[in-house]
Amino acid sequence: MTALLFLALLTFGQECQDLVARGREAYERRNYADATSAFENAIARCGADESLLLALAQSRLFARQVPAALDTLERLLALNGRNVDALKLKARALYLAGRDADAERALNAAAALAPGDDEIVYDLGRIYYQQNRYRDAAAQFQRAITLNPRSHKAYDNLGLATEALGDVPQAIRHYLKAIDLVHKDHPHYDVVYANLADLMLKLGEYWKAFDLAAEAAQRNPDDARNLFLTGKALVKMERFDISLKWLERAVALDPSYPEPRYVLAQTYRRLGRAADAERELNAFQQARARAPAVRR
């Protein structure tokens, strides 16, 4: 996004430059609602070009405004149907909307224009993973790594696919490679720490799980999963009092996320807080009934 918006800053007047800069700064702070508002204002006042429309679509997608992001991308692609970045982003939006076949078509269109783009291959692997086609997904992630040996997301997701295939030692090696790539160069990338923490919980390595989840939470304190995994590790270590702040924060960040509510209910019960436990258990059952399939 930064390069595209830098070009926009060069071509727009001062008012437009200020709006674009405001949107870029909000985006980098992960305040996607403010970024969306700034880019919408920039387009309304200064006109739409491809870079601004793409920035708006990205912000809308991260703000979970998937239909609005798709509308913006259709507008962009009407201007230039060969915009590879727009096709890639459209595929991601379609994937999040559960429209896998449409997402795959968008990726194939992008691949025809940019056959060496590792992100296209990676995104196709994500679709296969969501469909439980773990071997196909792993093959795509391996291909993405061949195209870009420093693709931390491909290593991270290769770990997920390999874990799903039952090869836990190899999965751990892939996760650790991803961590090696992101440790300094991608200080805000948190997902691999959470993924490995989740695996450590399954293996009974609770201190390792805590350290990894806490690192994920430090990198991204606004992700409910990161806080939930940290709290869950503390519960497994029977540090119930300390776990509460993590679990309660996870629930506050995402009230629709069922699992933190269940663990929080069990923790309240262990602490003798029966009324709180009953409240959270009821909330868990309601959230679980409404929860959609998770897509990451």
The Cα 244–Cα 226 span in angstroms is: 14
Tokens 């997608």: give the residue. Answer: 61
**pLDDT tens digits for 223-238?**
999 999 999 999 999 9
Token pair listed for 269: 């019960």
User: Is residue 21 left, alpha or beta, with left meaning phi > 0 and alpha meaning psi from -120 to 50?
Assistant: alpha
The Cα 3–Cα 8 span in angstroms is: 9
What is the average pLDDT score of the chain?
93
Instruction: Read off the pTM.
Output: 0.84
Split at pLDDT 50, 70, 90, the class of 3 is low
**Torsion on CA atoms 34, 93, 130, 143, rounded to nearest 10:** -100
Split at pLDDT 50, 70, 90, the class of 10 is very low
* Contact criterion met (CB below 8 Å) for 152 and 181: yes
**pLDDT tens digits for 243-290?**
999 999 999 999 999 999 999 999 999 999 999 999 999 999 999 998
Structural domains in the chain?
A: 1-114 (1.25.40.10), 116-182 (1.25.40.10), 190-296 (1.25.40.10)
100 CA to centre of own chain: 17
The three-state secondary structure class of 30 is coil
The Cα 296–Cα 277 span in angstroms is: 29
